[in-house]
Amino acid sequence: MNEDDDRVFKALADPTRRFLLDLLFAREGRTLTELESEVEMTRFGVAKHLKVLEEAGLVVARRSGREKLHFLNPVPIRLIHDRWIDKYTERHVTALVDLKKALEDET
């Protein structure tokens, strides 16, 4: 359980991996070569990152012939949220975040 945690947070620690999650969040079911074209890096690097994300459970993959399709799994993200944001204070925090966003939009 704790090892799972560690894998998730370590996976999120790298900016390239977060960008890959962003790409999958925008459109799911992408292949390795497709993701590679969006990143300034070798295919091997991207493959390594995807493996880390997969082992952390943040990405789920499905094979289709010689291709491998990748999907984003939001559950671990939600668990991070629940760890440090109490249900009673959640309303309060969301209000704070909305306020912050509103202030930034004005500028």
Partner DNA sequence: TTGACATGTGACCTCTGGGTCACATAACTT
Partner DNA sequence: AAGTTATGTGACCCAGAGGTCACATGTCAA
Find all residues with CB under 8 Å of 47, minimum gap 6, and list them.
32
- Pick from 8, 20, 21, 49: which binds DNA (CB under 7 A)? 49
Told to check if 80 binds its own copies by CB under 8 A, we report yes
* Local structure of residue 23 (DSSP, 8 states): H
Q: Is residue 45 a contact point for DNA (CB under 7 A)?
A: yes
Contact map string, positions 18 to 57, toward its own copies, x by CB under 8 A: x--xx--x--------------------------------
> Pick from 1, 3, 27, 44: which binds DNA (CB under 7 A)?
44
Q: What are phi and psi of 77, to 5 degrees?
A: -60, -45
Stretch that binds its own copies, among 28-36, 37-45, 46-54, 71-79 (CB under 8 A): 71-79
Position 57 contacts DNA (CB under 7 A): no
User: Distance (Å, rounded) from C-alpha 32 to C-alpha 40?
Assistant: 14
User: Measured between alpha carbons, how far is residue 74 from residues 24, 80, 92, 98 in Å?
Assistant: 11, 10, 23, 21
